[in-house]
Structure 1
């Protein structure tokens, strides 16, 4: 597995070894020992999630203020632009973001540690998005940050869409940076 740093310490891109031939391909999508070595410490995953979204759907920016979740994310079919935002006041990268394209073709995964907001924009007709989490979903602790907050300034690849992003009501109502609840 190759490990690539992003502009946010702790948020890393993981590229598994893919073995392919005329029949298709094989890859090990998760190995606890390799993952621990790649991120520099041990995390226990407790939940796997799978979402399917249409082109133009933007999900995020989500986080849990209590029971924060680390997320190991990948795309099984399609293509997305995936983003993490540092929500930790004590961090030197507080309020900064990193983004990467994840696709079924590039097999990349993104590790988003606890303390970060996470979201993605679907760039293909459909995308199947898979993520492992280090804590259980706790709706009472779920928070969101406005996807288009000017303070954070995420450079979403909106030029690839024919229309504005499709958002849930929760994401439409997400607070701006100056109103968002952050980690200490």
Structure 2
């Protein structure tokens, strides 16, 4: 099993970052994400926490011979569950691949919190693990290394793409005269 962790600070307040997150896809730097469907969304009446389950459709850019070898299609699916706690100002997302999970499991946890160094900024933390199983275990190290490298490339593109979306979101919010946007308002716009 291989692990990767990334920490980044966005120069925007938590409310804006968490609201803009819902507008992340589509974006030009993440063309592998082709569709996002909301499967379930609810607010816990006791805590005020918003819980959302989404199905993310991605198109894998893997060698066709590899896809044929493992009996896979280019189109793959990922399940994402997120929780937003507006009181604690935490936004947590967990995702795991649904496609080919008997051969390769990729789990990711992302959190957006108020930066401990600066209340007007947001700290992003991503932790992911990749584990190979099944008949592919003979090539475990190679496949896990390849998968982590691909994950890191996609994460970098995702961060850059999200930064563009965030800047556009902030500009649009400012143009409409709203200086404080909540995550709930952005969800309503989704």
TM-score normalised by the chain length of structure 2? 0.27
Give the number of the structure whose alpha-carbon radius of gyration is greater: 2
TM-score normalised by the chain length of structure 1? 0.27
